[in-house]
Structure 1
Amino acid sequence: MIAFAPRRLCASLAAAALLLAGCTLPDDKALTMVNRGKYSLFNCDQLKSQAVQARTRERELREAMAKAAAGPGGELVNAVAYRSEYLTVKGEIEELEITANAKNCRQSVRAISDGVIR
């Protein structure tokens, strides 16, 4: 009976990993992680500044996730350490774009922030 303990443990861990794999949010759910109207009191300059910061953080997280994925257990590290913050930042960027469009800012937040990264 004791010889079967490691097998049961491995089987239990594998089953738990499969069940938890379905708990992550897809990228299209990023906007749900941010309060709607979070930036409604910001003017265009403030929106632009926030967008630059958010795009910079998104790039940092994307690079960290790519680096972690290359190592052993990388997907687990991504899910635990980076994924939720990455989705939050992506949601903030989407909310910034929505708010900038609603306020008719002359330059799109997306265009400005993409230009900064390049």
Structure 2
Amino acid sequence: MIVCIFQGRALSRAAAAAALLAAGAGLAGCASMGDGMSTAFADPAKYQLYDCKQLETERKSLDTRAAELEGLIEKAQGGVAGPVVAELAYRNEAISVQGQRKFAEEAWRQNKCRPSPPATAAATPAATAASIASATGAKPAKGAPPVPR
């Protein structure tokens, strides 16, 4: 009777260990699946009708969001249950953003877009009013800077 109890416990421990190993292998497979499955969480037709200006804005916002998510994942990794929190809270959105970035890049290349040049400083309203006044010969508005002649 005693031998039977010890054999039953050893068998249940072996079964539990085998179940843990199988679960670990299954979760490891999920972690590597994220890179290949990134486009499954994004709409491939979303960016087909975007023009270059819209694509440029979208690409910048996707890059920003991807960087935010990577930072959050790294921050969560340092916690007590960090890897679990990182996977549950942020990984799906990070995979989705990665897929969206891929489709936005494809649309960017298909449209043969080029990055826009950096914006120059806009003229101040007072300077614009003064230049209009000098061009028309009118007296500048009260409070406007003097027009050099």
1:103 equivalent to 2:111? Answer yes
Within a 5 Å distance, the mapping from 1:23-34 to structure 2 comes to: 23-24=30-31, 25-34=33-42
Structure 1 counterpart of 2:52: 44
How many Å apart are 1:45 and its aligned residue?
Answer: 0.5
Counterpart of 2:89, as a letter, is: A
Greater helix fraction, Structure 1 or Structure 2: 1
* Ranges in structure 1 where 5+ consecutive residues have no aligned partner: 109-118
1:22 equivalent to 2:29? Answer yes
Q: TM-score, structure 1 length as denominator?
A: 0.72
Post-superposition Cα deviations, 1:5-52, rounded to whole Å, max 9, x if no partner, equal xx7xx8667764553443343323312321212100110000011111
Counterpart of 1:99, as a letter, is: A
Q: TM-score, structure 2 length as denominator?
A: 0.59
Counterpart of 1:81, as a letter, is: A
Higher relative contact order (CA 8 A, sep 6+): 1
SS at structure 1 position matched to 2:108: helix
What is the aligned residue count? 108
Counterpart of 1:22, as a letter, is: G
Task: Give me the identity figure in percent.
Answer: 34
1:92 equivalent to 2:100? Answer yes
Q: Highest Rg: 1 or 2?
A: 2
* Ranges in structure 2 where 5+ consecutive residues have no aligned partner: 117-149
How many Å apart are 1:73 and its aligned residue?
Answer: 1.7
After TM superposition, the runs of 4+ consecutive aligned structure 1 residues lying more than 4 A away are 10-18
